[in-house]
Amino acid sequence: MTIHKPVETTQQNTETDRTDTELGESLRACYAYGMIASLVFYFLAGCTAREDPVDKAPKPPPIPELKNKWVNGVKLRHLMTFHACDTTRADCNDPWLHQSFIAGSSDGKRWEVMTRFEPFSTSVPDPIVRDNVLYVYGMPQQRQFDLKTGKILKSKRVEVIDENSDRTMNVDPSAILDDDGRIVLFYLVGDIGYDPATCPPKQPNCSKVFQSATEVDGSNGTRFKVDPGTRASIQLNNGARFASDPDIFACPNGYCLLISRGQGMQLLHSETLRGEYTFMEGLSEGFISKNGGGVGAGHYDSKSESMWFFSTKHIAKGNGSARMTEIHGSKRKGPIGSIEDRHFKAIIKGGDFLSSDYLVASPGFYSFPDSP
């Protein structure tokens, strides 16, 4: 993600190896340059609002030809955003070389790419729908798609400001609507000079802080102000070195916040959207899964009283330093409890829509209110 001041909303990687047993999520983005003093000038030019980082990014690979097409007429109940990368043609640890896709499903199990919306260059995308417009937050920009006409609206830069109107550093936001119809972003608070998902160098223990920011009226989802307080704080130590990629969704008696912990995920809960989130009761240290995949998304279906979880699962070593990844999913009905790793099954593979050389990662999920 990022490291600079002033700073923009940034992205975080889902494929980079961090240790032999726990694979990290942070994208190799602008913060890497902040560790090298001789590159400060280029770092500031490429990562701050004074100059669009998109202009400094490597040219993305050509848009691939999809194998499967979106079938018009299929009732659309669920949306999923995800990013993909050809491991034979690109350094997939570089977020600028990721391409994001929008998929649709009628049951949450079988997915088809919506080819009326061409893939676009961004990473770690997250969706929200308001007034028949799909907003996709793949920082540093927000993209809008008219679901009725299929029209792709102009991309716009997003900024998050604090109480002093200064831009803040935030990593991989997840979007939700509040009771007043405003978009609220939940995100990992970034820091300067190191991977924001882990502790500073030579510091074995630290806390990762997650906050929220609410849409400024009239900004159409492009400007946000930080909400008071902290939504969650996760303690890291030598045995659990990473916490990142929050995903917010409504669930029984309030709201749930899913946090990625390497190849596992923790579930937290609060009675109010902007309250303090604590580990969900009934889960050991809040873990919904310890090796079912990370960098995920959650959903609660009130009609079937079931929890849906989606994750990025590392499956093999790809070309170069990138891990091959698939998107896995699992559903649990009844009281909340941990899910065995084997119950997470592949729902989207690179070969499903592209080729087996593609990794797919970082699912974002949206279910329309009238979905079963």
Each residue of 302-319: pLDDT tens digit? Answer: 888 899 999 999 997 755
pLDDT digit string, tens, across residues 110-138: 898 887 778 888 899 999 999 989 999 98
312 and 293 Cβ atoms separated by less than 8 Å? yes
pLDDT per residue as tens digits for the range 154-192 = 788 999 999 999 999 888 999 999 999 999 999 999 887
Please tell me the distance from the alpha carbon of residue 136 to that of residue 144, in angstroms, as a whole number. Answer: 6
Tokens at 293, concatenated: 């995949």
Is the pLDDT at 238 greater than 90, yes or no? no
Distance of CA 207 to the CA centre of its chain: 20
Q: Say if residue 6 is preceded by a cis peptide, omega within 30 of 0.
A: yes
Using the CB atoms, write b or e for 330-368: b if 16+ within 10 Å. Answer: bbbeeebebbebeebeebbbbebbbeeebbbbbbbbbbe
pLDDT of residue 109: 87
Give residue 75's pLDDT band: very low, low, confident or very high (50, 70, 90).
low
| Per-residue model confidence as pLDDT tens digits over 206-232 | 999 999 999 999 999 999 999 999 999
Average pLDDT, the chain: 80
Q: What is the pLDDT of residues 15-66, one digit of tens each?
A: 333 433 333 344 333 333 333 333 332 333 333 333 344 444 555 556 666 5
Q: Residue for token digits 């990014």?
A: 57
In the chain, what are the domains? 9-367 (2.115.10)
Structure tokens at 61: 């690979």
276 or 191, which is more confident: 276
Give the separation between CA 31 and CA 43, rounded to whole angstroms. 8
Going by pLDDT thresholds of 50, 70 and 90, the confidence category of residue 67 is low
- Residues 6+ positions from 57 with CB-CB distance below 8 Å: 96, 121
Q: Are 100 and 363 within 8 A, CB to CB?
A: no
